[in-house]
A and B are shown apart, each in its own frame.
Chain A
Amino acid sequence: MTAISLPRALPAGRTLGAAILAIVAVFALLGPVFVPGDPFAQSLMKSLAGPEPAAPFGYDHLGRSLWHRLAHALRLSPLIALAAVATAGAAGLVLGTLAALRGGWTERALVVLADALLALPGLLLVLIVLAIMPGTATGFWAGLSLVLWVEFFRLTRATARATLASPAAQAGRLLGFGWPYIFRTHLWPEIAPLMLTAAAFGTATAIMGIAALGFVSVGMRAPTPELGLMMVELLPYWREAPMALLTPVLATFALLLGLTLLAGGHRT
């Protein structure tokens, strides 16, 4: 069986993905430290000007440094995405374990709820939550958490059911160990690697969602530097300054490719 499923993940794909993400993270965190500047400062004299020492990636249509805007954009969406994934992962873990432990109506109700959420497009839910919540960043966080917990819940529940029925976990119960112990020694080692993959996919989904809604002008508001928003702002100036548009495009691609590689292609 090992021979046929050989190229499931790219050889050394996870390492490559982690390396790409590390480069992006270093740029986002340290870029503005090496080259100090303000992502909001405008200078129309420098509209769409090329790179210079104070702005290594050149300027956008309003003469704002792309280096600094990109660094801030690369902090914003990953931060929201990680917060949403952390919330969703915790909720999915707790509810999934609860469903597997309790069974009966608790499990049935949670499964029905998760299935129904699965039927609704994620971006639609995010849009509705954005309309309800005050503040775009918190709205994204809440909406994406609501969308992403389903995947963690399903993974946890499926794994927990199988593990709790295993002889090892049953024996642990019979020996009188409590649930925290069973969870730590039997469940968590099974679930943890799955959670890492799901978290990488979830982060990628969240970043894509934020960028997609930014791109169609219903996400983050200007002048916030955000990847999708930067693309749609720079799109009209494609002919004059193609590199200015390619900067956020390539950054988004690198970020998502890194996450996809890190996940390892083992979805479901």
Chain B
Amino acid sequence: MTILVSRLVQALVVALLVGAATFAMMRSLPGDAAWRIAAGRYGYDNVNAAAAEAVRAELGLDGPWLGAFLQWMGDLFRLDFGVSLVSGQPVIAEIGHQLGASLWLALAAVGLSLVIGPPLGILAGLRPGSLFDRTLLVVSTALKAVPQFLMALILILVLSVQLGWLPAAGYGQPRHFILPAFALALGLAAVNARIARDAMAGVVAMPFYDFAQWKGLSRAQVLWRHGLRNVSVPLLTYLGLQFVLLVEGVVVIESIVGWPGIGHALVHAVFARDVPMVQGTALMLGLGFVMVNALIDLLAARIDPRGAR
């Protein structure tokens, strides 16, 4: 129960931070926000003073400070994000549209990383210090040093430009998933494998693991009953923390491969100074993190009831 309360407080402060940050962004934009928004709406060639004034009047861009802030936060907590300054559509509708695309990409990446990383890590952890263990360490260290955008760049150059196997960008067909999902998954898998390896090596060294083998269980049974369950808890907890890394990767990768998701929308919104969109997407990402971690807390407590705090 205390877990949920602390997560609730975290969610509340996240909302406050996002509200304050986006308000500051709205207020202190360099240049005239009205001009920028008008340019975003009508195109840079069609902006004139009249259009900018119309936008200024419509959005109430000048006025007293504190009242505007309170109204801003009030709207935020009533989950009224307003309309996108650029497209004129309600922010909620836009986000709902984009969230799906991002969610599928993120799930594909996490799934892929879980297929690649932990099995290799567990294999290495069963024989710590072996050649395989050392090789995995070298490979995962090198992979960790490759940022996700660089991984995407390398995959695009090798798989699409040179070999022509996959489309470099695009959305809609299953094969469009492969490249961005791999670009995200390889970095995650490098860390997953290390976590699984350390946890597994720790479990193998425990007396209960030796005992289980000694009492006559087969290696597979010991691994299944005593190994995997103990490895899954640190892995799961780490997965929650990786969520932020994943979201960051999604923001960048989506922009590179033209994925119509929330990260792509966020970069565009920041670029066009579409503050309501920035607020909506930022809030969605922050609250998503808190929610995922609350679920993982609960799940971890279910798998390993000893550590219930």
A260 close to B145 (CB less than 8 A):
yes
**Chain B residue nearest to A113 in the complex (CB):** B13
Q: Does A155 contact B (CB under 8 A)?
A: no
Interface window among A1-9, A47-55, A82-90: A1-9
Q: Could you say which of A6, A134, A239, A249 contacts B128, with CB atoms under 8 Å apart?
A: A6
In the complex, which residues of chain A have a beta carbon less than 8 angstroms from the beta carbon of B289?
A: 119-120
Among B222-277, those with CB < 8 Å from A are: 244, 247-248, 251-252, 255-256, 266-267, 270-271, 273
Kindly supply a per-residue 1/0 record for chain B positions 74-118, scoring 1 wherever the CB is within 8 Å of any chain A CB and 0 otherwise.
Answer: 000000000000000000000000000000000000000000000
Contact yes or no, A260 B270, CB < 8 A: no
Tell me if B13 and A116 are in contact (CB < 8 A). Answer: yes
A231-B153 contact in complex given A116-B10, A119-B289, A120-B286, C-beta closer than 8 Å: yes
Q: Using Cβ atoms and an 8 Å threshold, which residues of chain A touch B170?
A: none
A213: chain B residues at CB < 8 Å are 252
Q: Is the CB of B285 within 8 A of A212?
A: no
A132 touches B28 (CB 8 A): yes
Contact partners of A257 in chain B: CB under 8 A? 141-142, 145
Q: Chain A residues near B202 (CB, 8 Å)? A: 4
How far, in angstroms, from A5 to B25 measured CA to CA in the complex?
47
Binding site of A, secondary structure by majority: helix, strand, loop or mixed? helix
| A8 CB contacts on chain B under 8 angstroms | 198
Q: Is the CB of B147 within 8 A of A211?
A: yes
**Number of contact residues on B: which range applies?**
35 or more
Q: Mark B1-45, 1 if CB is under 8 A from A, else 0.
A: 000000001100110111001101100111000000000000000
B145 and A128 contact, CB distance less than 8 A: no
Assess the A128–B22 pair: CB atoms within 8 A: yes
Q: Output the nearest chain A residue to B293 by Cβ-Cβ distance.
A: A119
Q: Using A7-B128, A131-B270 as known contacts, say yes or no to A117 and B153 having CB atoms under 8 A apart.
A: no
With an 8 A cutoff between CB atoms, is A215 at the interface? yes
Kindly provide the distance from the CB of A29 to the nearest chain B CB, expressed in whole angstroms. Answer: 22
Query: Are A218 and B13 neighbours in the complex by a CB distance under 8 Å?
Result: no
Closest A residue by C-beta to B146: A253
Q: Is the CB of B21 within 8 A of A119?
A: no
Q: Considering only CB atoms, which chain A residue lies closest to B157 in the complex?
A: A238
The secondary structure that dominates the B interface is helix
Per-residue contact bits, chain A 73-117, to B (CB 8 Å; 1 contact, 0 not): 000000000000000000000000000000000000000110111
> Is B177 engaged at the interface, CB distance under 8 Å to the other chain?
no
* A6–B137 alpha-carbon span in the complex (Å): 11
CB distance from B269 to the nearest CB of A (A): 9
Residues of B within 8 Å of A112, CB to CB, are: 9-10, 13
- Chain A, Cβ-Cβ closest to B140: A265
Indicate the size class of the contact surface on chain A: 35 or more
Please give me the residue from chain A that is nearest to B22 by CB atom. Answer: A128
Partner of A128, one of B138, B142, B256, B282: B282
- Residues from chain B with a CB closer than 8 A to the CB of A228 are 149
Query: What CA separation (Å) do A238 and B21 show in the bound complex?
Result: 39
**B293 to chain A: which residues have CB within 8 Å?**
119
Q: How far is the CA of A216 from the CA of B265 in the complex (A)?
A: 13
Among B124-181, those with CB < 8 Å from A are 128-129, 133-134, 137-138, 141-142, 144-150, 153-154, 157, 161
Residues of chain A within 8 A of B286, CB atoms compared: 116, 119-120
**Least CB distance, B137 to chain A, in whole angstroms:** 5
| A:231-250 near B, CB below 8 Å | 231, 235, 238-239, 245, 249
B23 shortest CB reach to chain A, Å: 10
CA distance in complex: A260, B194 (Å): 14
Q: Which residues of B contact A231 (CB under 8 A)?
A: 150, 153
Q: Complex formed: what's the CA distance from A235 to B149 in Å?
A: 13
Contact A121 B247 (CB under 8 A): yes
A3, A204, A249, A261: the one contacting B153 at CB < 8 Å is: A249
Known interface pairs A5-B198, A131-B25, A215-B149; A260-B251 also in contact (CB < 8 Å): no
B153 touches A215 (CB 8 A): yes
Given A120-B289, A123-B251, A216-B252, decide whether A256 and B149 contact each other with a Cβ distance below 8 A. no
Residue with the greatest number of chain B CB neighbours at <10 A, chosen from A3, A124, A125, A216 = A124
B69 to chain A, nearest CB (A): 15
B205 located at the interface, meaning its Cβ lies under 8 Å from any Cβ of chain A in the complex: yes
A203–B164 alpha-carbon span in the complex (Å): 36
Q: How far is the CB of B31 from chain A (nearest CB, A)?
A: 10
A112 to B7, CA, bound (A): 10
Assuming the contacts A124-B266, A265-B141, asked whether A256 and B147 have C-beta atoms less than 8 A apart, the reply is: yes
Are the CB atoms of A134 and B149 closer together than 8 Å?
no
CB distance from A23 to the nearest CB of B (A): 15
Identify which of B10, B147, B271, B278 contacts A208 (C-beta below 8 A): B147
Determine the residue in chain B with the shortest Cβ distance to A255.
B145
Q: A3-B129, A260-B141 are in contact. Are A212 and B22 (CB under 8 A)?
A: no
CB distance from A107 to the nearest CB of B (A): 14
Instruction: Assess the B145–A119 pair: CB atoms within 8 A.
Output: no
9 contacts between A and B (CB under 8 A): A3-B129, A4-B204, A5-B201, A123-B251, A124-B248, A131-B273, A211-B147, A215-B256, A257-B141
Q: Which residues of A contact B (CB under 8 A)?
A: 1, 3-8, 10, 13, 112-113, 115-125, 127-128, 130-132, 134, 204, 208, 211-213, 215-216, 218, 228, 231, 235, 238-239, 245, 249, 252-253, 256-257, 259-261, 265
